[in-house]
Amino acid sequence: MSDYFPSEVSAGSDFSARVLLPERPAPLWTVTAFLRGVISIDILSIPDGAAHMLEADASETTTWLPGRYWYELRATDGSDTLTVARGELTMRHDMALQGAGYDGRNHAQRVLDAIEAVIEGRATKDQQSYTINNRQLALTPIKDLLMLRDRYRAELRQKRGKGYGRRIKVVM
């Protein structure tokens, strides 16, 4: 069970979220999830007792494109329509469709890995700049690389430990 609308969804896999809104129970109310980003996705709930089930099977989610999406959950009883939650999620690639050489790292991880590779490669070099045939190359000072490394490490820690969205009761 989770207290949040999922912060990540995998294309190509079944999606199911059981949303509990005691003040807006099914079947008197219906919930629709509107996802907007790379493409538009709408998921209409079906009643499950007093809960709202948001579902899409793998054959449908395989068409969902990866990227950042913003969602809004709206509840309606036919006359009133209310936004009950908003947030952001990441749509992950359908791994079954990815070929050899796929790199699933996010931007922050790719940049951090590149910075660490430069630091590692520079560990045996003393020069900060040099000139050959009137062409000069200046290297980024180690102090700046370490600062950037720490910034990207912090960004990754924050992303790994942070959920998105307003608190609602969701059972996965």
- Given pLDDT bands bounded at 50, 70 and 90, which one contains residue 1? very low
Q: What confidence tens digit (pLDDT) does each residue in 20-39 have? A: 999 999 999 999 999 999 99
8-98+163-171 under CATH 2.60.40.10, yes or no: yes
What's the residue count for the chain? 172
Q: What is the pLDDT of residue 166?
A: 45
Quote the pTM value. Answer: 0.66
The answer to whether residue 165 scores a pLDDT higher than 60 is: no
Q: pLDDT by residue (tens digit) across 120-134?
A: 877 556 556 667 888
Q: How do the domains of the chain map onto residue ranges?
A: 8-98+163-171, 107-158
What residues have CB less than 8 Å from 81, skipping those under 6 apart?
A: 74, 75
